[in-house]
Amino acid sequence: MNILAIDPGSTSTKIGIYRHGELVKGCIRHPHAEIESFPRVMDQLDYRLAALEGYLAEQGDTAAFDIVVGRGGLVRPVPGGTYLVDDLLEADLVRGVSGEHACNLGGVLARRVADRHGVAACIVDPPVIDELWPPARFSGLKGVERTSMFHALNQRAVALAVARELGRGYRELNLIVAHLGSGITIGAHRQGRVVDVNNGLNGDGPFSPERTGGLPLIGVLRLLEKGSCSIDELKVVIARRGGIFSYLGTVELTEVEERIARGEREAAQVFEALVYQVAKEIGALAAALDGEVDAVLLTGGLAFSQAFTGALAAKVSFVAPVLIRPGEYELEALVEAGVRVLTGVEQAKRYGGSHEDRP
């Protein structure tokens, strides 16, 4: 089986090439300034496709693939699983029906490459998987519902891997999984279902390197009232120019730590606030699970920072044992789904394109 996995992030495109039973991973870095030059995420398509093709050529890997699997994007709420990228799914990815994010490029890039090889393109466990239980949907304002949007692919992959390590079934455990990257989402995994999670893209939960997280609503309304920014500009700030970037002008936690080491007080305060807000979200989900938590899992790029995970573990270890799994396991999850489809263990689903698809 020959499988290509594509995982677009805010400033990178991760690549997985699976041949002869071996997965080789790589990463294309996209300078922040270049990414910022595109008004919309989907405007990056040709830029990213050229970078992907250049990467494959540099690797000398131009042989045919049997399937191309991309990271799922912000389509309409759906049950978990693997979905064929057809015209309807691609159209909703291009439109960004549930929001703008680099992950929307995953399925479209996969289809562009797959078409050239004459094979199927799929996405797996998109961020809009919706398994919230009823109390988690209430926002406090009738007509405005909390929605499920999170790093579903990586959170599930890490949760499944840890369950195997513990010799337990995923559906036997209650886990809190914190994906700590350019965006931060923290989910309550209750016996195999993500029953509560913050929508990190739309301004919910803790701030992150580039996202604002939850904001004081009256303060935001005053910004709009003063004409400091338009609604469209504010959406960009919430998703791409908030968080650490808004305070310190960088999205790199390593740079923040270097500035702290040089004695920069504001950098130390922002770092402490980041730890504080993530810990508070974990504590809130512990309460949502009635305190019945088997483990707290820390994953994502920020989990490589021992200073960050150490400070965070010190605040939340009272909840449950803290297990650190740095990085992302999304490429592995994409390849595993491709293997399941090619071997007939799983049949790729057809996307319905309706909110009624939500379980």
Calculate what percentage of the chain has a pLDDT beyond 90: 89
Phi, psi of 22 (to 5 degrees): -125, 135
* Structure confidence at residue 213 as a pLDDT band (50, 70, 90): very high
Phi, psi of 78 (to 5 degrees): -140, 160
Phi, psi of 104 (to 5 degrees): -60, -25
Taking the C-alpha atoms of 242, 209, 78 and 175 in order, what is their torsion angle to the nearest 10 degrees? -130
pLDDT of residue 356: 47
pLDDT of residue 353: 65
Tokens in use for 34? 């270049």
Q: How far apart are CA 226 and CA 321, in angstroms?
A: 47
Tell whether domain 134-326 is in CATH 3.30.420.40: yes
**Angle between helical axes of 306-316 and 265-288 (0-180°, round to 10):** 40
Domain ranges of the chain: 2-128+330-357, 134-326
* Structure confidence at residue 309 as a pLDDT band (50, 70, 90): very high
Q: Is the pLDDT of residue 359 over 60?
A: no
Q: Is the pLDDT of residue 14 over 60?
A: yes
Q: Give start and end residues of each alpha helix (H) in the chain.
A: 32-36, 45-58, 87-95, 104-117, 134-137, 152-165, 217-226, 231-240, 243-248, 253-261, 265-288, 306-316, 330-343
Nearest to 186 by CA among 154, 216, 163: 154
* Structure confidence at residue 100 as a pLDDT band (50, 70, 90): confident
Quote the pTM value: 0.85
One-letter amino acid at 359 equals P
Residue linked to tokens 């040089």: 262
Q: Is the pLDDT of residue 24 over 50?
A: yes
Q: Is the pLDDT of residue 253 over 80?
A: yes
Q: What is the largest CA-CA distance in the chain?
A: 60
Asked if domains 2-128+330-357 and 134-326 share a fold, the reply is yes
One-letter amino acid at 349 equals K
Query: Average pLDDT in the 63-83 region?
Result: 92
pLDDT of residue 37: 94
Q: Looking at the domain 2-128+330-357, which fold is it? A: Nucleotidyltransferase; domain 5 (3.30.420)
Three-state SS for 128-147 is CECCCCHHHHEEEECCEECC
Segment 255-267, tens digit of pLDDT: 999 999 999 999 9
Tokens in use for 307? 């200073």
Tokens in use for 81? 């699983």
Segment 158-170, tens digit of pLDDT: 999 999 999 999 9
**Angle between helical axes of 87-95 and 104-117 (0-180°, round to 10):** 140
pLDDT of residue 354: 57
Segment 130-184, tens digit of pLDDT: 999 999 999 999 999 999 999 999 999 999 999 999 999 999 999 999 999 999 9
Q: Is the pLDDT of residue 355 over 70?
A: no
Is 130 within 8 Å of 78 (Cβ atoms)? yes
pLDDT of residue 275: 98
Q: How far apart are CA 95 and CA 74, in angstroms?
A: 9
Average pLDDT, the chain: 94
**Residue 309: which residues within 8 A CB-CB, separation 6 or more?**
298, 302, 303, 322, 324, 326
